C-alpha cells in the first residue's frame, strides 16, 4: 500500500501507558470455564489468570516498554489509515447530504476500560458505539500475521477499516436498529450480529475501492485484505479452537462470507451494495 507518513492522527488517543489490570472474576460456572478454555486454546494464553485478577500479555517472557519507539512506524501507519478512511467517509456522507462525525482510535496494551466495559487485548480490535471509539492493541497485528497467516499492510488496514465501518453504521442509525431488533427478537441475536459484521466488512471494501481509485494500492493488496477477512471467519476460529464448526453460534460470519462481502464493497464502491440485511 502506498501510504504517506503524516505523523500521528489528531483522532488518535494513546493509552498504552495505562494499566487497568484484569477483570477480577471471582465465580464462574461450567459455561464460563469452557469459554476460558476455548479462548486459551485459540490465543495460546492463560485466560484462567483472569480469575485471580491477573492481566494478559501477548508475550509472557517479554513486556514491551511504554511508548516503545519500535512501534512508532506502526502508530503512524494506523494514523494514516484512520485519517484516510475518515476523509473518505466524510466525502461520501457529504455527497448524500449527511454530516460525518469522526471516531477516535484508542491504542492500548493488554487491557482497556471503554464506555462498553473492560476488554482484554485478546478479544481483538473493537468499536464501542457508546463512546464512538475504536480500540486496538497493536500486538493484534502480530497475531494476524503469525497465528492467522494474514500478513501485509493492507491486511492491517482492512482490520481498522472494518471497525470504522461499525462507526459508519452507528452514524447511519443501523447499529441502533440492530440493537433494538436483538432486544425484540433475542433468538435472532446471532444472525443479526453476523449481518452487522458482514456489512462492516463490505463498508471496509467501499473504502478499499476508493484507495484503488486513487492509485495507492499495490499488487497483492486486495488479496491481503481477503486473506485477513477469511482468517477471522467464525468457522476458521472455531475449527482452530475445538476442531468443530457450529454455524448456529456464528456472530461474525464464515470466512467465505467475510471475504465475499469485503469484495462486494470493493467492487461496487457504494454503500447501497452493502445491504446484508435483505439478502
- As given in the structure block, the three cell numbers for residue 202 are 463490505
Provide the pLDDT for residue 79: 98
pLDDT in the model for residue 24: 34
Give the 3-state secondary structure of residue 44.
coil
Question: CA-CA distance, 191 to 101, in Å (whole number)?
Answer: 28
Number of Cβ atoms within 10 Å of the Cβ of 245: 15
Please give the pLDDT value at position 62: 43
Confidence (pLDDT) at 251: 94
Give the chain's radius of gyration (CA, Å). Answer: 18
Measured CA angle at 213 (ends 207, 217), to 5 deg: 75
Query: Could you read off the pLDDT of 135-167 as tens digits, one per residue?
Result: 999 999 999 999 889 999 999 999 999 999 999
Q: How far apart are CA 255 and CA 127, in angstroms?
A: 20
User: What kind and span of H or E run contains 249?
Assistant: none
Rounded-to-integer distance, Cα 169 and Cα 277, Å: 13
Q: Output the pLDDT for position 123.
A: 85
pLDDT at residue 203, as a whole number = 98
Q: Which contiguous run of DSSP H or E holds residue 228?
A: helix 221-231
Quote the crossing angle between the two packed helices 30-43 and 234-242, to the nearest 10°.
100
Residue numbers of the chain with a pLDDT score lower than 50: 21-33, 46-62
Render pLDDT for 168-187 as a digit per residue (tens, 0 to 9): 999 999 999 999 999 999 99
Half-sphere exposure for 136 (CA within 13 Å, toward CB): 25
121 DSSP 8-state letter = G
**Beta strand ranges found along 116-262 (DSSP E):** 117-120, 126-128, 133-136
- Cross-strand bridge partners of residue 13: 106
Residue pLDDT, tens place only, 214-234? 999 999 999 999 999 999 999
Check residue 43 and give its pLDDT: 53
Helix (H) or strand (E) holding 235: helix 234-242
> What is d(CA 185, CA 182) in angstroms, rounded to the nearest whole number?
5
pLDDT at res. 122:
85
C-alpha cell at 1: 500500500
What's the CA gap between 148 and 110, in Å, rounded?
A: 19
Place of cell 494500492: 217
Question: What pLDDT, on the 0 to 100 scale, is given for residue 92?
Answer: 97
Give the pLDDT of residue 53.
38
Please give the DSSP secondary-structure letter assigned to residue 51.
G
Amino acid at each position: 500500500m502506498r501510504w504517506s507518513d503524516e505523523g500521528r492522527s489528531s483522532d488518535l488517543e494513546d493509552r498504552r501507558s495505562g494499566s487497568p489490570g484484569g477483570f477480577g472474576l471471582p465465580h464462574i460456572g461450567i459455561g464460563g470455564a469452557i469459554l476460558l478454555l476455548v479462548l486459551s486454546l485459540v490465543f495460546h494464553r492463560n485466560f484462567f489468570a483472569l480469575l485471580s485478577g491477573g492481566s494478559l500479555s501477548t508475550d509472557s517472557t517479554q513486556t514491551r516498554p511504554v511508548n516503545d519507539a519500535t512501534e512508532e512506524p506502526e502508530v503512524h501507519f494506523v494514523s494514516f489509515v484512520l485519517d484516510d478512511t475518515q476523509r473518505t467517509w466524510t466525502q461520501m456522507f457529504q455527497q448524500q447530504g449527511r454530516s460525518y462525525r469522526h471516531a477516535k482510535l484508542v491504542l492500548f496494551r493488554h487491557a482497556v476500560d471503554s464506555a462498553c466495559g473492560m476488554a482484554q487485548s485478546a478479544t481483538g480490535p473493537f468499536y464501542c458505539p457508546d463512546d464512538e471509539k475504536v480500540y486496538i492493541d497493536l500486538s493484534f497485528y502480530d497475531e494476524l500475521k503469525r497465528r492467522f497467516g494474514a500478513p501485509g499492510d493492507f491486511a492491517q488496514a482492512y482490520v481498522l477499516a472494518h471497525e470504522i465501518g461499525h462507526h459508519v453504521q452507528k452514524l447511519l442509525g443501523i447499529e441502533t436498529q440492530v440493537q433494538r431488533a436483538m432486544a425484540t427478537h433475542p433468538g435472532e441475536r446471532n444472525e443479526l450480529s453476523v449481518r452487522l459484521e458482514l456489512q462492516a466488512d463490505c463498508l471496509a471494501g467501499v473504502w478499499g475501492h476508493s484507495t484503488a481509485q486513487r492509485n495507492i494500492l499495490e499488487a497483492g493488496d486486495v488479496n491481503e485484505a481477503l486473506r485477513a477477512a477469511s482468517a477471522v471467519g467464525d468457522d476458521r476460529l472455531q475449527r482452530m479452537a475445538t476442531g468443530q464448526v457450529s454455524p448456529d453460534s456464528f456472530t461474525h460470519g464464515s470466512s467465505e462470507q467475510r471475504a465475499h462481502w469485503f469484495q462486494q464493497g470493493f467492487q461496487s464502491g457504494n454503500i447501497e451494495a452493502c445491504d446484508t440485511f435483505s439478502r
